[in-house]
Amino acid sequence: MDKIKEVLKLLESEKNTIQDLKSLEEMKVRYMGKKGLISELQAGIKEASDKKAYGMELNTLRNSFLEFYEEKKQAFENSLLEEKLKSEAIDITLPGRKIKKGSLHPMTLITEQFEDLFVSMGYQVYEGPEIESDENCFQKLNIPKGHPARDAQDTFYLKDEVENYLLRSQTSTAQVRAMEENKEKGPLRIVCPGKVYRRDEDATHSHQFRQIEGLVIDENVSMADLKGTLELFCKKVLGEKTKVRFRPSFFPFTEPSVEVDVSCFKCNGKGCNLCKQTGWIEVLGAGMVHPHVLEMCGYDSKKYQGFAFGTGLDRFAMFKYNIPDIRTIYGNDIRFIKEFDRRDV
């Protein structure tokens, strides 16, 4: 009995020393374990003179311990949970991190606008490769080797790697490809946007720029169709009030050939620095596909006619967005691209 009282005293004195879950569990082993103090006292019941009183006393001790243990354990666990919640807390009142939003490059915008316009007129978008054969870039467009028309488009030849290959100097190469790929040799209606390369470099010319080429082949296609199509195109892109004028010109792959001017959209034809006081701005080259080109690409030129046109996308972008130096288009300066973020194109 005295022993039980001693352990009870010990328990009371130890209660205040328990600071964490670990020492509480150790304490449990010390009291309740197989060789623990309470288990030992349990064995002592055999020698007790008053077994009933001994048993009751021992029960009091056990209950006192268990009560203390459960209460303490709960308290430790609660405070651990609280700490965890505190450390993982998210302050939902903080403003979120902004996602950096990009914007489409002006060249992408203008290319897509042109494509959409032609698709709405029943054209398909056709893209050719930028590395082309001399044959597709020149010969099949009626510009044989040594022809002076090559000089105006002199470009980058890949002589050392593959003989007779070059960076295409015009998207007209796609005309040749589309006609040759069309096995039925029937009607065609395509636009071909893409990069082209020439040996040029100044504020208004870049060694790399973009063109979009259109080609329509069918029976009974005439110059009137070409004029109607390009007039509609210019008005849709530059405004309904735009005047369009056709001047005779020369391209080896079209006959007759024209250059297309639009009334200056800055001064409305009065004359300013943009149109060099002429009131007109040249925007397109075009013409009826030369019968020779049709034949070289497998078409029956007696049955089919075609018209083609080409324009510089960079030129259009420069006019439209008032970009004075073509090099800024290719400079990759994020401040320039951001300018187009909210523009209505």
Distance of CA 314 to the CA centre of its chain: 21
Cβ-proximal residues to 242 (8 Å cutoff; 6+ apart), any chain? 234, 235, 262, 263, 265
Cis peptide before 291 (omega within 30 of 0): no
Query: Closest approach of Cβ 187 to ligand PHE, in Å?
Result: 18
Q: Which residue is nearest to ligand PHE (CB)?
A: 310
Query: Closest approach of Cβ 266 to ligand PHE, in Å?
Result: 24
Which CB atom, from 309 or from 319, has the smaller least distance to ligand PHE?
A: 309
Which CB atom, from 128 or from 285, has the smaller least distance to ligand PHE?
A: 285
Query: Closest approach of Cβ 317 to ligand PHE, in Å?
Result: 17
CA 1/CA 41 separation, integer angstroms: 9
CA 69/CA 51 separation, integer angstroms: 26
CA 150/CA 137 separation, integer angstroms: 10
Residue 324's alpha-carbon distances to 61, 183, 199, 317, in angstroms, are 95, 44, 20, 10
CA 244/CA 264 separation, integer angstroms: 10
CA 111/CA 172 separation, integer angstroms: 16
Query: Closest approach of Cβ 340 to ligand PHE, in Å?
Result: 26
Residue found under tokens 């054209």:
123
Query: Closest approach of Cβ 169 to ligand PHE, in Å?
Result: 7
Residues of the shown chain interacting with ligand PHE in the complex, contacts defined by CB under 6 A: 170, 172, 213, 251, 254, 285-287, 308-310
Cβ-proximal residues to 138 (8 Å cutoff; 6+ apart), any chain? 144, 145, 147, 150
* CB-based contact 305:288 (threshold 8 Å): yes
Question: Hey, what are 206's tokens?
Answer: 């870049």
Query: Closest approach of Cβ 256 to ligand PHE, in Å?
Result: 11
* CB-based contact 118:313 (threshold 8 Å): no
Query: Closest approach of Cβ 343 to ligand PHE, in Å?
Result: 27
In the chain, the amino acid numbered 219 is E
Query: Closest approach of Cβ 305 to ligand PHE, in Å?
Result: 14
Question: Hey, what are 223's tokens?
Answer: 């110059």
